[in-house]
C-alpha cells in the first residue's frame, strides 16, 4: 500500500501563477497515479495572490475520490512575511492547513536554503546559525496560526554541518515546545534531493519526536506535479524502524489521524 498523503506542494512553484483548472488538474491526476488519497496544496505565502479557494473547490468537485486540502506555507520572509500572515488570518476559515517555515536567518535578506550558498555556509559558524534558525521558528510559533512545521532541520540542507553530538541536542527543546503546543511536524523526502542527502527531520529527531508523541504529516515539497510523492518508496523503508502507524491529516485545521496500512 503506498503512503497515502502528501501535505506539502507548490502548484505555483516560484512565481505568482493564478489557480486555474489547467494549473491544478495535473496535480490531482499525478496524485491519483501515485496512489495518494489526500493532498494539501501549500504554496508559499508570498504567492498568496495566486491562491483561489473557488478553484480549489472546483478541483475537489472534479476529483471526488481525492481529499484535497487548502493550505499555505507561511514563512519568515522579512519582506512578505507580514502580508502573508495577514492573508492567512483573513482566510483562516477557508484554509485547512498552515505550514510554518523559516527560510531566512536575519539580518541576512537572502533565503539561506538557496542551493548556490553551499560554499558560503561551509565557512559559517553553524551552531550560531542553528540558534538563529530555531529562534526564527520559535518566532513563527509565537505569532501562532500554524498547524505543522515544515522541514524542521532545514538548516542542515547544505550538508556542511556534522556536529559530533548530532542534531538532536540542538532541536530537543524545540521538539518539547512543539509537543506542548500540540503541533505536528512533517517527514519530508525533499532533503534527499539536496546536498545533505537526508530526509527532514534527521532520524534522531524523528525518533525523539515519536517518543514525545508529536504527530507527523508526510511530504515531498514538490515544486512540479512530477515531484509529488517523490521517493515515497524510500520513505516507507525509512519509516519502518520508527513504528509510525498513523499520520496526521487536517480539515479546517482539525487534525484526524489516519492509519498506515
Ligand atoms: Zn520551505
Ligand atoms: Zn515548500
Per-residue pLDDT of 165-180, as tens digits, reads 999 999 999 999 999 9
Whether the CA torsion 117, 120, 122, 127 is positive or negative: it is negative
- Grid cell, residue 239, equals 519509516
Cα gap 87→106, rounded to integer Å: 22
Cα gap 126→180, rounded to integer Å: 27
Cα of 7 from ligand 2 centre, angstroms: 10
Q: Which of 156, 157, 186, 180 is nearest to 168 (CA)?
A: 156
Cα of 9 from ligand 1 centre, angstroms: 9
> Residues 217-230: pLDDT tens digits?
999 999 999 999 99
Q: Which DSSP category does 162 fall into?
A: -
Cα of 160 from ligand 2 centre, angstroms: 21
The chain-wide mean pLDDT, for the chain, equals 97
- Whether the per-residue pLDDT at 23 is higher than 80: the answer is yes
Count of beta carbons in the 10 Å neighbourhood of residue 234: 12
Cα of 165 from ligand 2 centre, angstroms: 28
DSSP secondary structure letters along 44-71: EGGGGGG--HHHHHHHHHH-TTSEEEEE
CB proximity list for 56: less than 8 A, separation 6 or greater: 19, 24, 41, 68, 70
DSSP secondary structure letters along 98-122: EEE-----TT--S-TT-GGGHHHHH
Whether the CA torsion 138, 143, 144, 148 is positive or negative: it is negative
Burial of 165 (0-12, 13-18, 19+ CB in 10 A): exposed
Cα of 105 from ligand 1 centre, angstroms: 13
- Whether the per-residue pLDDT at 1 is higher than 80: the answer is no
- Whether the per-residue pLDDT at 34 is higher than 80: the answer is yes
Cα gap 71→42, rounded to integer Å: 5
pLDDT of residue 201: 98
When pLDDT is cut at 50, 70 and 90, the band that residue 204 belongs to is very high
Domains present along the chain, CATH in parentheses = 5-259 (3.20.20.140)
Tell me the H-state helices in 91-231. 118-122, 126-143, 168-180, 203-212
Cα of 96 from ligand 2 centre, angstroms: 16
End-to-end alpha carbon distance in the chain? 7
Cα of 99 from ligand 1 centre, angstroms: 9
Cα of 74 from ligand 1 centre, angstroms: 9
Mean pLDDT throughout 17-35? Answer: 98
Cα of 151 from ligand 2 centre, angstroms: 8
Amino acid at each position: 500500500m503506498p503512503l497515502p498523503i502528501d501535505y506539502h506542494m507548490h502548484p505555483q512553484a516560484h512565481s505568482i501563477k493564478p489557480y486555474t483548472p489547467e494549473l491544478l488538474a495535473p496535480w490531482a491526476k499525478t496524485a491519483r497515479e501515485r496512489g495518494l488519497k489526500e493532498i494539501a496544496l501549500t504554496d508559499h505565502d508570498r504567492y498568496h495572490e495566486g491562491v483561489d479557494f473557488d478553484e480549489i473547490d472546483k478541483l475537489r468537485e472534479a476529483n471526488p475520490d481525492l481529499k484535497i486540502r487548502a493550505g499555505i506555507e507561511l514563512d519568515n520572509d522579512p519582506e512578505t512575511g507580514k502580508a502573508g500572515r495577514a492573508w492567512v488570518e483573513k482566510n483562516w476559515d477557508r484554509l485547512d492547513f498552515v505550514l510554518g517555515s523559516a527560510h531566512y536567518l536575519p539580518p541576512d535578506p537572502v533565503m539561506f536554503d538557496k542551493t548556490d550558498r553551499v560554499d558560503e555556509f561551509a565557512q559559517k559558524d553553524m551552531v550560531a546559525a542553528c540558534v538563529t534558525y530555531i529562534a526564527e521558528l520559535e518566532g513563527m510559533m509565537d505569532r501562532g496560526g500554524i498547524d505543522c512545521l515544515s522541514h524542521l532541520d532545514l538548516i542542515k540542507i547544505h550538508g556542511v554541518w556534522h556536529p559530533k553530538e548530532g542534531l538532536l541536542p540542538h532541536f530537543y527543546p524545540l521538539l518539547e515546545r512543539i509537543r506542548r503546543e500540540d503541533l505536528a511536524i512533517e517527514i519530508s523526502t525533499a532533503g534527499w534531493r539536496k546536498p545533505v542527502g537526508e530526509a527532514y527531520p534527521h532520524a534522531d529527531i524523528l525518533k525523539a519526536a515519536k517518543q514525545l508523541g508529536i504527530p507527523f504529516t508526510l511530504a515531498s515539497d514538490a515544486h512540479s506535479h512530477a515531484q509529488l510523492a517523490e521517493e515515497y518508496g524510500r520513505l516507507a523503508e525509512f519509516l519502518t524502524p520508527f513504528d509510525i502507524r498513523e499520520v496526521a491529516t487536517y480539515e479546517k485545521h482539525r487534525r484526524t489521524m489516519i492509519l498506515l496500512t
